[in-house]
């Protein structure tokens, strides 16, 4: 029997949008046959900042027991899907801080030859979603990773319109995640698992 693909879904979420997308991706990947680790990055913001935003405080409490990502989760994985909200067209500092802890693995070649992909959210349309994903993917190139974006490989991708990764505009909490984003998450998860499985099989041959 073929060994299942090991997928790490590593994300940061303040108000919960990326938490929900991460769960969608994890569930779709498990249905596609992957073994999944769902992990959040450590929070860097002070408690006062968290408490100043009710949605942020609620998500912080709701995910309190969720596993915090470590470099070992990346070393374990055959594939990694990173998620972040936009921060001035770039990834959030909480995810960047995690990436910066991976230097030891990088130096030993442990980040190379894995499949990587990403997802993103923003408050506004054209709020830096594509630039955030492209910025994230710079790290993948340095890792020696295999970038697997969803592209327009499924009819549903023409609904969300982002070939770089799953994305959602939450309109400051007034636009909940719906079928368009969920379908995009499913397509991305299935594609990552499919390509990672083929790569894993080929490397083992």
CATH number at residue 88: 3.40.50.360
* Rounded-to-integer distance, Cα 35 and Cα 55, Å: 30
Which of 41, 72, 74, 83 minimizes the C-alpha distance to 143? 74
Q: How far apart are CA 58 and CA 72, in angstroms?
A: 28
Cβ neighbours of residue 74 under 8 Å, at least 6 residues apart? 8, 10, 80, 102, 105, 110, 111, 114
Tell me whether residue 146 is in a domain: yes
Taking each helix axis as running N to C, give the angle between helix 17-31 and helix 179-204, from 0 to 180 degrees, rounded to the nearest 10: 50
| CB hemisphere CA count around 65 (13 angstroms) | 1
Decide if 138 is inside a domain. yes
Task: Quote the pLDDT of residue 204.
Answer: 85
Q: Once rounded to an integer, what is the mean pLDDT over residues 155-181?
A: 94
What is the band of 205 on the pLDDT scale with cuts at 50, 70, 90?
A: confident
- Kind and range of the H or E run holding 81: strand 79-87
Q: What percent of the chain has pLDDT over 90?
A: 95
For 87-115, write each residue's pLDDT tens digit.
999 999 999 999 999 999 999 999 999 99
pLDDT at residue 1, as a whole number: 44
pLDDT band, residue 75 (cuts 50/70/90): very high
Q: Is the residue at 45 inside a domain?
A: yes
Please state the domain count of the chain. 1
Structural domain span for residue 154: 6-204
Residue 1 lies in a domain: no
């Amino acid at each position: 029997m073929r060994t299942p693909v090991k997928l790490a879904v590593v994300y940061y979420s303040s108000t919960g949008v990326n938490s929900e997308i991460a769960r969608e991706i994890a569930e779709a990947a498990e249905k596609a046959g992957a073994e999944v680790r769902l992990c959040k990055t450590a929070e860097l913001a002070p408690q006062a900042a968290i408490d100043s935003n009710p949605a942020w405080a609620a998500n912080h409490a709701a995910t309190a027991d969720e596993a915090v990502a470590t470099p070992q989760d990346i070393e374990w994985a055959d594939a990694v899907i990173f998620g972040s909200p936009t921060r001035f067209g770039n990834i959030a500092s909480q995810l960047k801080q995690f990436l910066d802890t991976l230097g030891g693995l990088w130096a030993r070649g442990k980040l190379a030859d894995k499949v990587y992909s990403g997802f993103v959210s923003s408050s506004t349309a054209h709020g830096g979603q594509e630039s955030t994903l492209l910025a994230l993917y710079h790290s993948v190139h340095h890792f020696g990773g295999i970038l697997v974006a969803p592209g327009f490989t499924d009819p549903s991708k023409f609904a969300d319109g982002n070939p770089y990764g799953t994305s959602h505009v939450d309109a400051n909490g007034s636009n909940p995640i719906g079928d368009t984003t969920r379908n995009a998450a499913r397509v991305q998860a299935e594609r990552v698992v499919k390509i990672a499985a083929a790569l894993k099989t080929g490397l083992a041959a």
